[in-house]
């Protein structure tokens, strides 16, 4: 019979097992990814059926936007988070999004839910660009992120990303337009109209990529077609 969580905690206390050793013991059984049928989905959570077992997984809006219909097979990269009395699964459509999530929760004061919120508000490439460019305003614009937290994220991750070779790979349209007021106003208008932010971002970026001189009204009209 497998020991319960409370029994495990009791054993750890009795034998004075350190947190570092507990993490190593738990990590050996962590879930790296889930490959199964999409049984249920909503913007912040999915249930994946893997051989008859349903796994509840927290997701970002970016990952949600990539999901197929219910009953289809999906694969999500997983961060398996252990706490003293609970376990949580966080899923990502790409290894890149998971990598940035792990970087974010490594920053003091940034928990997993805050990190998911950041990844819901900005695509990984845009968020990395804001961090590398020390764009405090862009990071602070994310709901729930104050000025001090934005500065801390940039301070702790900027040099780490540079050392890891995470630098903009040439001037992409999205990088050039990150501070474009037409893009920002068009995006805000579409979100206010009820568009999911990832969908609105794609529509706005596609329109401005085709014609960078469009006005806000023209961008919105193209997005509504």
Is 116:101 a contact under the CB 8 Å cutoff?
yes
* The pLDDT value given to residue 171: 41
Residues 183, 150: one domain? Answer: no
* DSSP helix/strand/coil, 25: helix
Which pTM does this prediction carry? 0.65
Last residue of a domain, one of 92, 113, 134: 92
Q: Are residues 157 and 108 in the same domain?
A: yes
Give me the CATH number covering residue 198: 1.10.8.10
Give me the pLDDT at residue 186, please: 82
Question: Residue 177 above 70 pLDDT?
Answer: no
Q: Which of 114, 135, 163 is the last residue of a domain?
A: 163
Return the pLDDT at 23. 54
The distance of Cα 220 from the centroid of its chain, to the nearest Å, equals 26
| CATH number for the domain that contains residue 71 | 2.40.50.140
> How long, in residues, is the chain?
225
> Does residue 66 belong to any structural domain of this protein?
yes
Q: What is the pLDDT of residue 125?
A: 86
Percent of the chain, pLDDT > 70? Answer: 80
Counted domains in the chain: 3
Q: Which residue has the tokens 């337009």?
A: 177
**pLDDT at 166 (0 to 100):** 63
Residue 60 clears pLDDT 60, i.e. is over it: yes
Is 186 in the same domain as 217? yes
Q: Is residue 2 a part of any domain in this protein?
A: no
Is the separation of the CB atoms in 130 and 122 below 8 Å?
yes
Average pLDDT on 100-129 reads 92
| 177 vs 185: which has the higher pLDDT | 185
Could you report the per-residue pLDDT of 66-91, keeping only the tens digit for each?
999 888 999 999 999 988 788 899 99
54 lies in which domain range? 33-92
- Residues 103 and 138 placed together within one structural domain of the fold: yes
Higher-pLDDT residue of 24, 51: 51
* Within a domain: 64: yes
159 belongs to a structural domain: yes
């Amino acid at each position: 019979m497998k020991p319960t969580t409370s029994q495990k905690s009791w054993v750890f206390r009795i034998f004075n097992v350190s947190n570092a050793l507990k993490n190593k013991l738990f990590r050996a059984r962590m879930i790296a990814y889930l490959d199964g049928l999409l049984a249920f989905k909503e913007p912040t959570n999915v249930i994946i059926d893997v051989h008859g077992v349903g796994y509840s997984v927290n997701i970002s809006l970016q990952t949600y936007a990539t999901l197929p219909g219910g009953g289809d097979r999906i694969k999500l990269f997983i961060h398996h988070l252990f706490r003293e009395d609970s376990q949580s699964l966080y899923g990502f459509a790409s290894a890149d999004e998971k990598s940035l999530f792990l970087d974010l929760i490594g920053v003091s004061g940034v928990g997993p839910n805050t990190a998911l919120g950041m990844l819901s508000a900005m695509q990984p490439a845009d968020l990395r660009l804001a961090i590398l460019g020390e764009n405090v305003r862009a990071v602070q614009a994310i709901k729930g992120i104050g000025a001090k937290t934005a500065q801390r994220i940039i301070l702790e991750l900027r040099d780490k990303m540079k050392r890891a070779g995470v630098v903009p790979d040439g001037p992409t349209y999205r990088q050039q337009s990150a501070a474009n007021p037409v893009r920002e106003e068009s995006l805000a208008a579409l979100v206010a109209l009820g568009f999911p932010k990832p969908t609105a971002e794609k529509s706005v970026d596609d329109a401005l990529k085709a014609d960078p001189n469009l006005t806000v009204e023209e961008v919105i009209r193209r997005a509504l077609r």
